[in-house]
Amino acid sequence: GAGVSQTPSNKVTEKGKYVELRCDPISGHTALYWYRQSLGQGPEFLIYFQGTGAADDSGLPNDRFFAVRPEGSVSTLKIQRTERGDSAVYLCASSLNGYGIPNEQFFGPGTRLTVL
């Protein structure tokens, strides 16, 4: 009965480096979302997966950001050539499905990314 887990909880990297952030959704949840949250702001949508496919990636800020979910469970958010402006808390959420009646989203604790 574990909730959504995210690793690492904290990541400090240098400008220009590549980072991967991992999300383990609740078992059986087919929908998975990535958001990022800056201090004092609400979560900002990045990408949504329904199963293995990215159903909506309109929130990705640019082509340095990419996410995968190859087996329809675990997802990895990948950021290339990190910039200081990428520093934020990256949140992952899952919901039972992505169709029909809107489901509540269950959020993980987030990964705090700091780009020096």
Partner 1 sequence: SQKIEQNSEALNIQEGKTATLTCNYTNYSPAYLQWYRQDPGRGPVFLLLIRENEKEKRKERLKVTFDTTLKQSLFHITASQPADSATYLCAPGGDTGRRALTFGSGTRLQVQP
**70 touches partner 1 by CB under 8 A:** no
**1 touches partner 1 by CB under 8 A:** no
Number of neighbouring beta carbons within 10 Å of residue 77: 24
What does the block give as tokens for 58? Answer: 């309109």
Listed in sequence order, the residues at least 6 apart from 62 whose beta carbon sits closer than 8 Å to its beta carbon are: none
**66 touches partner 1 by CB under 8 A:** no
Select the span of 13-21, 66-74, 77-85, 100-108 touching partner 1 (CB under 8 A): 100-108
Q: CA nearest 75: which of 45, 34, 110?
A: 34
Residue ranges in contact with partner 1 by CB under 8 A: 4, 31, 33, 35, 40-45, 48, 50, 55-56, 59, 91, 93, 98, 102, 104-110
